Every structure is written in C-alpha cells, then in structure tokens.
Amino acid sequence: MIKKTSISKYVKGEFGKNILTLGSGTVFAQIIPFLFYPVIARIFTPAEIGLLATLTAIFVIIVNFASGRYEMGILVAKTKQDAANLAGLSIILSFFVVVFVYLMLRLFFVDIISTRMNEPLLKKWLFVCPIAAFSIVIYNVYNEWCVRNGYFKRLAINKIINSTAITVSELFLGLVKIFSQGLIIGDMIGRVFSAAICVFRAVRKDTAAFKEVSVVRMKKLVKEFIEFPKYIMPGRLLNEIGKRLPVFFLGFYFNSDEVGYFAMTTLVLYAPVGMISLAIKDVFRQRANEDFKNNGNCRTFFIEILKILSIVAVIGSVVLIFCLPFIFSIFVGKQWDTAAYYAQILTIPILLSFVSTPLFDVIIIANKLKFNFLWQIYYVLITILSMWVGCVFYNSVEVSIYFLAIGRSSAYLISIILSFYCAKGNLLKTYK
C-alpha cells in the first residue's frame, strides 16, 4: 500500500533534486534564446520568421513518423541491451524515412506546398526539413536514453547545448548577412551540431551498451514493440499536426506576416512554458514508471504533482495575462504588439498544457495506448474545427485564435482527466 505523502516530500526528495537539476538546465537553455529574442526580432521580419515557422511545422511532423516512435520504448525496455537496440533501430529507421521524404518532396510536392502556403521561397528551402528532422530524432533518442538511465545532469547540459547552438547560429548568420535566409540556415546548423554532440556523448559514456546493438535483436524488438508505431506514432503524429495546423491555416488563408506573429507568440510564450513542462515530464515519468512496476499504479504521486502544477498554472495565468504586452514590448519591440495580443488570448490553453503535458505519459506507462490515440484524434479535430470556423466563416485571425484557445483548453482538460484515471492503473485492467 502506498502511503500518503505531502507536496514538500516530493519537492525536497529525490524527485525535487532531479527536477532542480533538469529544470535549472531547462531554464538556462531558455534564457539563452530569450535574451537574444530582442535582437532576432529586430534583425528578421515577421515574414522571415513566418517562413521558418512553416518549415518547422513540416520537419517536426516528419519527426513524428520517421522513427516509428520506437524510441519511446527505451524507457520501458526490460534491459539496457534492449534499450540500446531500440535507440539504434530508431536512428536507422528514421534515416531511411527522411531520405524517402526528401525524394518525395523534391519530385512531387515542392510546388504544391509552396503554392498552397502562399510562399514561393518554400521551393528553395524545403530540403532542410529532412535534415532537421533526422537531427531532432537523434536528439530525442538521446533524451529517452538519459531519462531511462537517470542521467538528468547530462540531459540538462544537452538541452543547453541544443538551445545555444540554434540561437547562436541564427544570430550570427542574421548579423553577418552572408546568406539571404540566415535564420533558416542558422537553425539547421544548430540542430545538426546538437545531434552530433548527442551521438558523441552517448557513444563515449555508454560504449559497452551500444556494442550490444545487432540486426537480429532489432528485428525482434520491431515485433515486440509494435504497439509504438501502431498507436504511439499515429497519436504523436496527430498531436504534432494539431499543434502546427494554425500555421498552415494562417499561411493558407492569410499571409506570412500573420504566421510570423503567431510564431513569435510561440517563441516568447509557448517555448519557455513547454520546455519547463517537458523537464518536469522527463523526471515525472521515470518515477511514475517505477511506481507502476512496484505497486501497479502511481495515483498518489500523480495527485501530488498535479497539485503543484495546478498552483503554478493558476499563478502564472494571472501574471501573464496582465504582463504579456509589457514583456513583448520590452523584449521584441512594439512591432510585435499583435503577437502579444495573440499570446494573451492563448494564455489559458498554454498553461493548461503546462499541467497536462508532464502527466500525459502515464497513459503510455499504464499501457493504455488506445486512450492516447483517441485523445490525439480529438485534439486534431478540435483544432481543425476551431481554425476552420475562424478562417472560413469569420475570415478573421483574431476570431480564429479565440476559437483555438477554447478548443485546446477543452482538449487539455480531457487529457488531465484521462491521465488521472490511467494513474490508478489496477482499476483499469479491463481496458487495453
């Protein structure tokens, strides 16, 4: 039987130490780009930032099917040998997938995408999407490896390297003006460099484990973890499509400037909140996984962390709604007032996502993968409906974002409820 505990126990205990380690690294990783947002926002136009946002939307979607999501099995693999083989499988599979995607983009879709998105420059820059996607897969695999093994200090350092590499590359190329699209090239260079560091650190620290990688073992794990590409991959793909749909809708129905304003909202508000939330998630799911192995559920732990996150979200909502215009004005300039207004509208769903994101992987740990898939379907559908009504019926960016805020808030509330029921574990054995 699990004893009831207090919030302070988690804050002061091992969980709190891991959160502090990873959280401090995450915060520092966010401070770096945040400090340079004022410069980047003044060097690049909304249209340039909008172009990068469109490319980002495309390559992040590629990431979510390139590896079959086999890397998500690294955490729950029975042995370190299996975890290493899943890492190898994910990287090899994603390499062949991104090569195939590149060929498809170049041969069949480049003209269609650039025309539909009202952005001729996409013809020139779509090639960066497969390169960036492969780099992110490597980063994600390393992230899962660190979480499994409790390498939170190493993971924190890597987040800082990733953030610094991308920001410095973007800033340098934006200032020297060597290339016409320094923002895009800088982003790609930063991601490739970060991926290379991940490979170096993984091989250097865990050489023995990766020597156990074999084709025979990877083939066996393909079947053993088939539910990950079957349920997790479609679910995560739907989730990422849902996240990026506003960019596609704004580009299709309006212009690159509106995409740029929405992207700046993401940079200043979504990114910091999301990164902190993911830091908590990485520590939470390791502890939740241990509780499930030992007790068959993590209900008590789940409730205590939910309380902490909810308190932070409520306080954050009040502060941000009133302070966002000032924050945007100081950090990125008056020319981004429109982005500040969009951020105010989206404050509630963003902070609900702050609560729901760390807790949502309980569904995977509890092996309720169908719950995950069904929620992702709802998330995409409510996003499509929200943006479609705002763009088509009202022909208004503002109205579209209001509908988006309402729709996504409902999705995040549902995800919290689903996560709570899955945290009870043994009470849901009949549903798999």
Let me know whether 23 and 122 are in one domain. no
What percent of the chain has a predicted confidence (pLDDT) above 90? 30
Residue 315 shares a structural domain with residue 252: yes
pLDDT in tens, 259-309: 889 988 887 777 667 767 776 777 788 788 888 888 888 888 899 889 989
What are the angstrom distances between the C-alpha of 245 and each of 53, 251, 338, 368, 403? 11, 10, 19, 26, 13
* Among 272, 235, 174, residue whose Cα is nearest residue 374: 235
Final residue of a domain: which of 206, 225, 244?
225
Check whether residue 110 and residue 210 sit in a common domain.
yes
Q: Do 262 and 220 share a domain, yes or no?
A: no
- What confidence tens digit (pLDDT) does each residue in 70-102 have? 998 898 888 889 999 999 999 999 999 999 999
- What is the pLDDT confidence band of residue 364, given thresholds at 50, 70 and 90? confident
Distance CA 123, CA 320 (A): 38
Given 203, 225, 247, the domain boundary residue is 225
Q: If DSSP states are collapsed to H, E and C, what string results for 179-232?
A: CCCHHHHHHHHHHHHHHHHHHHHHHHHCHHHHCCCCHHHHHHHHHHCCHHHHHH
Q: Which of 79, 215, 67 has its CA nearest to residue 142?
A: 67
| The domain boundary residue, chosen from 177, 207, 225 | 225
What domain range is 20 assigned to?
1-36+226-432
* Statement to judge: residues 216 and 235 lie in one domain: no
For the chain, what is the domain count? 2
- Domain check: are 204 and 241 in the same one? no
Residues 177 and 256 in one domain: no
Alpha-carbon distance of 93 to 88, in angstroms, equals 8
Asked whether residue 249 falls in the same domain as residue 365, the answer is yes
At 133-165, the pLDDT tens digits run 999 999 999 989 988 887 777 878 888 888 888
- Indicate if 340 and 248 belong to the same structural domain: yes
Residue 159 and residue 21 share a domain? no
Q: Are residues 146 and 263 in the same domain?
A: no
Q: Is the dihedral of CA 89, 143, 61, 190 positive or negative?
A: negative
> Same domain for 285 and 387?
yes
